Amino acid sequence: MKIENTVIIDKPLDTVTQYFANPAYLKEYQEGFVSKELVSGTAGENGAVSKMLYEHNGQKMELVETITANNLPDTFEAHYYHEHMDNTMKCIFTPLDDGRTEYRSFIEYTRINWVMPRLMAILIPSLYKKPVKRWLENFKRFVESQ
């Protein structure tokens, strides 16, 4: 399953990517975000591996992020592993002539091996698409409020 979203942020490229690159701000726009811990490599650089912890309605979820291509301020790519699914994310940041920034996000679920999530992805794909869109909108609001 592939998910694509775009938002226009009323801030310049350098400001947008500065907030995007700093994990201290993840809690500002990703509901349920608890922490991010570097496991190996250098934080923010290609090959860096981090554990990301989320909690929602008492349920904890751990993701392992591997940065595959950090070319900020232009692009950022990573792979996310969870025991029941894998996905890749590519973010493209484009400066606009009026000082705003276009932020495009491409997420592809490459593995879903648990029956219920797989059925939900097939029958109700919006359950995967809505949170991604909400996180981009939350990020836009957060950056614009700074």
Q: Which domain holds residue 108?
A: 2-145
Residue 129 pLDDT: 72
Q: In what order do the strands lie in the sheet with 49-56?
A: 2-9, 101-112, 85-95, 75-82, 59-71, 49-56, 33-40
pTM of the entire predicted model: 0.89
Residue 95: band (very low, low, confident or very high) from pLDDT cuts 50, 70, 90? very high
Please state, rounded to an integer, the average pLDDT across all residues of the chain. 91
CATH code at position 88: 3.30.530.20
Q: Which residue has the higher pLDDT, 33 or 110?
A: 33
Nearest partner of 77 among 64, 62, 66, 63, judged by Cα: 66
- Into how many domains does the chain fold? 1
From residue 7, alpha-carbon distances to 15, 22, 62, 99, 117 in Å are 15, 19, 27, 14, 27
Residue pLDDT, tens place only, 54-75: 998 999 999 999 999 999 999 9
